[in-house]
């Protein structure tokens, strides 16, 4: 018993001496913090789509795959069938919509599937809240039954919302609601059910210069872009709209979309679906972090009050390390790393314990 106590005191002394040495050599060594954005990016951008038009699958999806970008695709329940089909709003020309196989493929390739209403009509401000909840559950349950995945995000039809609609969205089990607003969001939005987005009105509004500005202004913030269609210049849809002198076509030429995605790809922003960014933000604000030092290792623990079955996005941790090479165990990115400028960034789940060991 005396031997065990002596051994424990000896090890504790080694840890304390090591910690004092760390502090003496570098006051920041051993300090850990959660990065504002995943992988310590400068800001966040989400690409969102409404109406599940087939041109999104035909043109936007391959371009996003090319750049490794994942987005949030929202659909209207009554417009989505077992095969691609044409549908429209009253007094509008019909547009080809995605089918369930297209939606499932998007989901399997890492894109978020969101709700845009079972019918493409405004949620009524005068409707009873229970009626709104039932309408929102109808589309949520339909998508979940087809994709076998939770639906967390609502794109309000026509971006129309109110306090009653927001409360119904929460009670229906959504975590996030996207509207319009033509602006970006704070790094911690004041209301996750009232997320602002920038609508893409046509191939010139916003301009490529505007897109550059939006992305530059996204540093330290969260930008959401709202897209609809990707009709080619000679398509029948664009021919009809030119004939009727439609200005806001809500369509972007595929080649321009490619250029816009290239701008995002080259930026220092984290490009991710709405639910991914939203979850990360909640986790960042509701997770504590602690470190313990002993000999040639550091243990980093994260503690959270959130339900980790829902809030399941890895957090990026930034820590000052006195060693040039380390091995990480227990994280979402285990492996051996060379430490640059005494700073290490790794990813781990909320509520996890990570061991960082010095290696030769």
DSSP letters spanning 146-204: HHSS---EEE-GGG---HHHHHHHHHTT-SEEEEEESS-EESS-S-TTSEEEEE--SSS
Which of 234, 267, 300 marks a domain boundary? 267
Query: Does residue 263 sit in the same domain as residue 320?
Result: no
Question: Same domain, yes or no, for 244 and 196?
Answer: yes
**Residue 297, H or E segment:** strand 297-304
**112 and 206, same domain (yes or no):** yes
- The parent domain of residue 350 ranges over 25-38+288-358
Average pLDDT for 30-36: 92
Taking residues 220-228, what's their average pLDDT? Answer: 98
pLDDT tens digit sequence for 76-107 = 999 999 999 999 887 788 999 999 999 999 99
Give the Cα-Cα-Cα angle 348, 35, 16 (nearest 5 degrees).
70
pLDDT recorded at residue 293: 86
Q: Are residues 160 and 52 in the same domain?
A: yes
Segment 315-324 shows an average pLDDT of: 95
Does residue 272 sit within a domain? Answer: no
Q: Are residues 322 and 210 in the same domain?
A: no
Residue 16 backbone dihedrals phi, psi, to 5 degrees = -65, -40
pTM: 0.92
Among candidates 321, 282, 280, which has minimal Cα distance to 32? Answer: 321
pLDDT tens-digit map of 165-197: 999 999 999 999 999 998 999 999 999 999 999
Mean pLDDT of the chain: 92
Residue 3 covered by a domain = no
Q: Is the pLDDT of residue 6 over 50?
A: no
> Taking a C-beta distance cutoff of 8 angstroms, is the pair 329, 355 a contact?
yes
* Tokens read off for 177: 């609601």
CATH of the domain at 30: 2.60.40
Is 10 part of any domain?
Answer: no
13 has pLDDT over 50? no
Structure confidence at residue 138 as a pLDDT band (50, 70, 90): very high
Q: What is the total count of domains within the chain?
A: 2
pLDDT > 90? residue 5: no
* Same domain (yes/no): 313, 239: no
Which candidate, 218, 165, 220, places its Cα nearest to that of 194?
165
Instruction: With cut-offs at 50, 70 and 90, classify the pLDDT of residue 126.
Output: confident
Residues 183 and 315 in one domain: no
Do 229 and 343 fall into the same domain?
no
pLDDT of residue 10: 39
Return d(Cα 19, Cα 123) in angstroms, integer: 59
Question: What tokens appear for 30 in the block?
Answer: 């051993």
Q: Is the pLDDT of residue 265 over 70?
A: yes
- The last residue of one of the domains, among 209, 233, 267, is 267
Confidence grade of residue 128 (pLDDT, cut at 50, 70, 90): very high
Whether residue 342 has pLDDT greater than 70 = yes
CATH number, domain containing residue 208:
3.20.20.370
């Amino acid at each position: 018993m005396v031997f065990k106590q002596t051994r424990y005191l000896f090890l504790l002394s080694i840890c304390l001496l090591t910690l004092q040495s760390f502090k003496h050599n570098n006051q920041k060594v051993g300090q850990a913090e959660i990065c504002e954005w995943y992988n310590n990016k400068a800001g966040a951008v989400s690409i969102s789509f409404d109406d599940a038009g087939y041109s999104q699958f035909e043109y936007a999806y391959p371009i996003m795959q090319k750049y490794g970008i994942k987005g949030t695709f929202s659909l209207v329940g009554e417009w989505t069938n077992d095969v691609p089909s044409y549908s429209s709003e009253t007094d509008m020309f019909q547009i080809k919509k995605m089918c369930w196989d297209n939606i499932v493929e998007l989901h399997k390739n890492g894109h978020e599937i969101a709700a845009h209403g079972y019918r493409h009509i405004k949620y009524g401000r005068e409707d009873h809240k229970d009626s709104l909840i039932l309408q929102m559950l109808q589309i949520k349950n339909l998508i979940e039954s087809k994709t076998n995945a939770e639906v967390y995000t609502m794109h309000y039809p026509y971006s129309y919302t109110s306090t009653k609609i927001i409360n119904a969205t929460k009670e229906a089990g959504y975590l996030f609601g996207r509207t319009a607003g033509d602006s970006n969001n704070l790094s911690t939005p004041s209301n996750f059910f009232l997320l602002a987005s920038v609508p893409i009105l046509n191939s010139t509004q916003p301009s490529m210069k505007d897109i550059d500005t939006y992305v530059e202004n996204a540093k330290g913030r969260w930008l959401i872009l709202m897209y609809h269609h990707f009709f080619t210049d000679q398509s029948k849809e664009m021919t009809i709209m030119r004939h009727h002198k439609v200005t806001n076509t809500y369509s972007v030429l595929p080649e321009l979309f490619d250029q816009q995605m290239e701008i995002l790809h080259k930026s220092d922003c984290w490009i991710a679906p709405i639910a991914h960014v939203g979850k990360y933000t909640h986790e960042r604000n509701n997770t504590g972090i602690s470190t313990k030092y002993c000999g040639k290792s550091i243990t980093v623990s994260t503690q959270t009050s959130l339900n980790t079955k829902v809030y399941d996005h890895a957090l990026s941790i930034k820590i000052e390390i006195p060693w040039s090479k380390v091995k990480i165990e227990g994280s979402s990115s285990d492996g051996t790393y060379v430490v640059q400028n005494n700073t290490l960034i790794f990813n781990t789940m909320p509520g996890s314990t990570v061991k960082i060991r010095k290696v030769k």
